[in-house]
Copies of this chain bind each other. A is one copy, B any other.
Amino acid sequence: MDLGIAKRHAILLASSRGLGRACAESLAREGVNVVINGRTADDVHRAVDEIASRYKVDAKGVVGDSSTIEVQEQLIAACDSPDIVLLNGEGPSPKMFQDITENDLHESIERALTAPLMFLQRVVPGMCERKFGRIVAISSAMVKSPNSAMSLSHGPRLGLTGVLKGLSKDLAKFNVTINQLLPERFDTYRQEQMAQIVMQIRGVTYEEARADQIKSIKAGRLGKPEEFGDACAFLCSAQAGYISGQNLQLDGGSYEGVF
């Protein structure tokens, strides 16, 4: 399937590894020039090199925390007319409701709600003018089924979900779409980390911890990052211009609700 986006330009926040990286790979494979971002220089440089050589596209790297003004400016400097933007950022650690501090809230909200919106203000007017834009946010399955231990994740993310939905209604007429991907348990370093935490807390083996991750997934397996990347690429395709304001769950069919 030709996605009709070869030679387009994408800025991908937090894309040096994990699901963000998978999105970068799928887009680059389709001929999209990419700006890779991440907080660790080595990861960013490796991703840029691998993607450039693998897919013969223009790949640039911007190292740093994309929730800061400086890094946002560097991203725009690296690509001032992006056609595609991936919103992404590392999620917070679990925390019981009563243990959440005001500072925890401020930090997680800054990262997952305020900063992405400020970044969108930089790119949306140009997309509207050029009559093409594909904005995809990596959210979380928890925005549809919240779990209080992850309040710092789904709280800000659900706020973002609402603002993006409202905004998507205004932008549709400019061929600018906004959609969210809602992952649950993909086979990335995040699940590795989680397994390590569970091993320590519950005193189980690595194999047990990994097996446990699969239990809540109706597909009986973790998702593969490349599956996620391809879903992102599809939502960024030319032919996905009639799809906007959607929250697509990639969760192995696990969500209980009908909608």
Contacts and interface: CB of A to CB of B under 8 A. Distances in A.
Nearest to A159: B159
A237 interface: yes
A100 interface: yes
Chain A interface SS verdict (over half): helix
Interface in A197-221: 218-220
A61 to B, nearest CB: 25
Contacts of A16: none
User: Which of A148, A163, A240, A249 has the most CB atoms of chain B within a 10 A radius of its CB?
Assistant: A163
A73 to B, nearest CB: 14
What 6 A-B pairs are tightest by C-beta distance, nearest first?
A159-B159, A244-B253, A172-B253, A146-B166, A158-B162, A148-B166
17 contacts: A1-B30, A97-B167, A98-B125, A102-B118, A143-B258, A145-B258, A148-B170, A159-B159, A172-B252, A227-B240, A230-B237, A231-B243, A243-B249, A255-B257, A256-B257, A257-B257, A259-B259
Interface of A: 1, 3, 26, 29-30, 97-98, 100, 102, 105-106, 109, 113-114, 117-118, 121, 124-125, 142-151, 154-163, 165-173, 175, 177, 218-220, 223-224, 226-228, 230-231, 233-234, 237, 239-259
